Structure 1
Amino acid sequence: MATDTEPACVNLSYRLILIYVSTSYLQLLLYHGVTDTKGLLSDEEVMISAKCRALSKLLPSLKQNGHRVLIFSQWTSMLDILEWTLDVIGVTYRRLDGSTAVTERQTIVDTFNNDTSIFACLLSTRAGGQGLNLIGADTVVIHDMDFNPQIDRQAEDRCHRIGQTKPVTIYRLVTKDTVDENVYEIAKRKLVLDAAVLESGVEVDNDGDTSDKTMGEILSTLLLG
C-alpha cells in the first residue's frame, strides 16, 4: 500500500506459485562439501528442481514485459544454485549476501539501479533485506520464506521505496506438500495476529471507557471467530 511519501501508483500485489519438487538433492551435495556441482550435474539436472523450472518460465516472461527482479533466499548455498539457474536461463544479474564487503554493497545497488541491462539481483534475505533501496526493480521473488513474515516484508520493501514509480509485484515460491506450505500458513497466521494486536489492543465501550484486550481474548477471537 502506498504511503503519503510514496507515489500512489506503487501498489503491492501478491502471487503464490505452488510447485512440486524441491532443490534437496542439490543442497545435499553442498552440505557434503561438494561446491563444484557444475562438474557433477548437467544444466538439465539443475532444472529438475520445480522452483528452478518455475523461474525458467516466470523470469523470461517478466523480462520480455520490461520488468526487473529481486530474488531472495535465506541461504547462500541456495543463492549458488540460483546463480547457476539464472546462467541456464540466460539472464544478467548481480549478487549481494552476507559475504559481500560493506564497501561493495552500495556499488552493487547503484549499478543495478542505474544499469537497466541487469535484469535480476540475487540477495540473501537477512543481509539484503534491510536498508537497501533497489527501486530499479519492480518485482520481488521470495524463493524460500522465513518463519517470521516481517523479515520477508522487509525484503519486499527493498524496491517498494521512495522514488519507485511502478507497481510492485511479489511472488512467493511454495513447494506443494512440503514444509513450505506449513511455513506459509504460519506466516499468514502471524500477520493476522500482528494486525489484531495493532487494531484491537485498546477498545472503547459505549460509555467512553477504554479497556485493554488481553492476548488471550485476541487469540480466542482469531481461533473461534
Structure 2
Amino acid sequence: MRRVNGSVLALTAVMLVTAAEARAQDASKSVAGGGISVSGWNGKVDANEASSGQTVNSAKFAAEGNGFHVTTGPAITYWKSGAPAKGDYTVRATFTEPKYMNLNSHPHPYGIVIGGNDMGTDNQSLFYCAAYGSGRFIARGFGPAPFQLNGRGEANDAVHKAAGQGEPVTQEIAVSVRGDKVDCSINGTVVGSYNKSDLVGAGKLKSTDGAYGIRFGHNTEAVVTNFSMTPAVHK
C-alpha cells in the first residue's frame, strides 16, 4: 500500500480551508438601504445571485449630484427605461472608485452595457465592457448564458491603476457601435474591437439595438458621472 506523507495531507487540508475562507469572504454582501431610487432606471441581479436570495434591493443605486452612486451587493445590471439605442451610437460614462477595493479583497469591474433585450427576464441578453482598478478590462456578453470576448479579462496600459487599496481611481469608459464593429474605449483608447458577428447570433445577443446602462460586479462601490448615449451623425 502506498503511504501518503503526513505533511502532504496537512498542506492539502490547509489549502482546502484557505479556499473555503476565500469563497466565504467573496460572498455577496447585501447593502443596507438598498434598491433603485433614481427615476427611469431598472435593474436585475445575475442569475447566480438571485439563486442565493439576492435581489435588486441587495444593492444600492442612488442619485449623487449630477450622477449616481452605486454600491453592491450582488453583481447587477442597471439600464435606462424608455427608448433603446439603435443603429450607430456611443454610450459612455465616467466611473470613480473613491476607495479602491473598500468592499472586497480583490478587484471587481464596472462598466457600460449595450444591446439589452428582454431585460428583467430570465432570457435577457446584453453586452458589457468594464474596467478593474487593477489595470484590466473585461468584455462579456449574456445571451442569456454568458459568453466571453476576452476571457476573464486582460491587462491594458490604458486602464488606470489605483495607487493602492483605499485609494481613488477613475475610468472613462465608452462602447460604440459603428457599422459591423463594436468598440470599447477606456480613457480615450480603444482596448477592444469586436465584429458584430461575434456578439449577435444564436446563444448571443438578439441585436446591438436595445437597452443601455451600466454594470457592476459584486461588493463594489463607485460614483458614475457624465453618463450619456449619443447617436452617431453620418455625413
TM range (shorter): under 0.3
Q: Which has the larger radius of gyration?
A: 1
Structure (1 or 2) with the greater helix fraction: 1
TM-score (norm 1): 0.25
